[in-house]
A = this chain, B = another copy of it.
Amino acid sequence: MSTALAKAPSIVTQAGADMPAALDFLKPRSVAIIGASRDPSKRGNRAIQTLLDCGYAGTILPINPKETEILGLPCYPDLASAPGEIDLAMVCTPARVAPEVIALCGERDVHGALVLAGGFSEAGPAGAELEARTLAAARKGNVRLIGPNTNGMFDGHTGLNLTGWPSVYAGGLGVLSQSGNVALSLLAQSHQNGHAGFSTFVGVGNEGDIRFHEYLRFFGDDPNTKAVIVYAEGFKDGRAFLEAAREVARRKPVVLYKAGRTDQGEGAARSHSGSLAGNYVAASAALRQAGVIQVERSDEMFVVADLVSRTGGRPTRGVAVLSEGGGPISQAADALAERGLDLPPLAEATVAALQTITPNASQLSNPIDAGGGTDPHPRYMPACAREILADLAVDALLIVGYFGGYQVRYGASLREIENEAAHQLVALAREHGKPVVVQCHYAEFPTEAIAILREGGIVVVRSIEIAAAALAAAQRFHEVSTAPMDEASAPTPASAEAAQLAAAARTEGRSALLEPEAMQALAGAGVAIPPFALLRAPADAARLPAELLAGPVALKIVSRDILHKSDVGGVRLGISGAAAIEAESAALLAHIGATCPGADIAGVLVTPMAGKGVEVVIGVTEDPQFGRLLMFGLGGVFVEIMKDVVFRTLPVSRSDAREMLDQIRGRALLEGARGMAPVDREGLVELLLEVSALAMSAPDFVEIDLNPVIVNAEGCAVVDARILLAGDAG
């Protein structure tokens, strides 16, 4: 692929804006329409018409051997005869000829090709083979592929509309979607809104070549894009997406709807785009960790992205609510508090100032009901807003109720006054630099005041709850963008010891480490493991280390053939002294010999009895999309009955580990509930980091399970450890 484009200033980007390096052809100076047509019902005709209608500033090159002119443009028989450099080819031809068409693109040095047709990997094995051949042609010819099976793409700023959709407004929202219809839904909202539009949309289709993460980096570098909306059903390369998100989401809000939260949704998504929807809990944790702003309602995507694209990372935690009636402020207070935002008390000076503006107000504490007895006037709104925005406790203002719609509610007589109030509010929001959101019962009625507010950059919405969700998302972006950079995770060297343990186990045909080996691996990774010994014969008891002979110990059978020791009576607890250990070990071996005949017995593991404390579970599991994840939860009923566990992708940072402790529902137990002292929190964080490091240094250890670990004020004790090896389901 030619890299000339990266150096030459593009004719279709804004003057002075730097071009992103990688996917330059997403802002093409020229587009070839392969399969151009004179038939207005054909995509190869509509695409040209749309480009003309949208005033696309680049060169349009219709390609069709049977035509010489289409819609007033010269038509070329093939790519070779079309003049000039070709940045992008839009392929409107049927799927079956895609490999040949892409090969021709390569010969002609076309930079990127957008393949509209379906019938590829989403349609079964034959389609997958066709997609593979198409991709091979692209690789050979140095052509990057958008799609196949995509709805196309558009650029709101240059008129490059390759979707054929009407009403594409230019604006700051980049859209990266696995569904054309979801993007169209956003378009309809932009159309209704009138003042929030789009930078670039790309339908990723089957992610045949370019995947989510590459597009995301493009948006990250695109100066027109102020926030990125992602609709994803599954990721072909989840790890790469997380890496890109971790980098982009700190600078630019990434608002993501992940389909497949439920089995039903997951099933629907899988059949839709042939992608792997994966487990939502794990996906959600991984995406959150990467700084993504997740939305779980389709009706929140547009407003959330619109607001976060405008707040510039400013905080919105402390929200003042202003209205002229009581009900909506209660609803707003509930909606904000449920989403983790605060309604800070106002300063006395603010209350006093509000009192002089609206002496009859029903309530001058936050939330503020400026109405009282009679209906107030729209001009009170900016007057009150001025005082509220000046209050240091207030990060953001949410106006709920009539404002914007007084002219609907009370008639045209109020129009000029309300419009002027809207202008004032716009000026105030700019002056104070604090986010202002207006929830208006009449947001669906296109009043002049609403248009003034939106034109001035104020988000106006119909729903109180969506307004609250948008403010919560803005606060989240503030936190993501201001979080201290995680300590650079030094590349983890492979652990020779772990590799040796894995190799030895494999030599013996085992798919798991024996428990003493697992303990050894953990100790090697810096985990403070209590003393332990493997008793190969009961008679060896007397030679156990003194610390194991001093107090009560646990005896556990060690066998490659016994995965669940307790279930077969393979554990004895609270045994003290060499004689008792010898006797109980012998009894244990005899019992196992009788109940599990033929089991290969390595011996009896002797460990000290754990102290009292809180049982927790730490594990490493493999997610099909995002790779290995660290799991943490409270043990016992919490994990078994309440499924109270949290996940993070590896490696976890110290702040991730701390967040994991905070996010379990039963966290009160760690903080010292039931009369116990708080547990050694930092010790637990350290243990999570050590397990993370062990997993990173031992790619062979696909599953690690410390269950339970006993945590108390003094520290953590790993009571049971299990490690499974790669290449085996265990």
Contacts and interface: CB of A to CB of B under 8 A. Distances in A.
Interface of A: 43, 117-119, 165-166, 177-182, 184-185, 188, 191-192, 231, 233, 257, 259-265, 267-269, 271-273, 296-299, 321, 323-338, 343, 362-363, 365, 367, 369, 372-374, 401-402, 405, 408-409, 411, 441-442, 444-445, 462-466, 637-638, 640-642, 665-666, 668-669, 673-674
Contacts of A324: 181
Given A233-B326, A259-B327, 11 more contacts: A118-B362, A178-B327, A179-B330, A188-B442, A191-B445, A259-B331, A264-B337, A268-B326, A268-B330, A298-B335, A640-B673
8 contacts: A118-B362, A118-B372, A178-B327, A180-B325, A182-B327, A297-B335, A299-B462, A299-B465
A228 B263 CA distance: 34
A664 to B, nearest CB: 10
A106 to B, nearest CB: 25
Nearest to A464: B298
* The 10 nearest A-B residue pairs measured at CB: A179-B327, A272-B326, A181-B325, A265-B334, A182-B327, A262-B337, A299-B463, A259-B330, A264-B333, A264-B337
Given A463-B298, A465-B298, A119 B373 contact: yes
Contact of A181 (B188, B272, B401): B401
Contact of A373 (B117, B338, B402, B466): B117
A331 B441 contact: no
A269 B331 CA distance: 9
A296 to B, nearest CB: 8
Given A268-B333, A299-B462, A331-B298, A181 B326 contact: yes
Given A327-B178, A641-B673, A464 B299 contact: yes
A369 B329 CA distance: 41
Contacts of A640: 668, 673-674
A454 to B, nearest CB: 15
Interface centre among A231, A260, A343, A462 (most CB of B within 10 A): A462
Contacts of A328: 179, 181-182, 185, 298
Contacts of A327: 177-182, 231, 233, 259, 272
B444 A192 contact: yes
B325 A669 contact: no
Contact of A337 (B191, B263, B325, B444): B263
Nearest to A123: B362
Contacts of A402: 181, 184
Interface centre among A178, A362, A464 (most CB of B within 10 A): A362
Contact of A265 (B185, B333, B666): B333
Contacts of A338: 261-262
B257 A331 contact: yes
Interface centre among A184, A191, A192, A326 (most CB of B within 10 A): A326
A272 B329 contact: yes
B259 A334 contact: yes
Given A372-B118, A441-B184, A269 B330 contact: yes
A492 B692 CA distance: 62
Contacts of A466: 299
Contacts of A165: 409
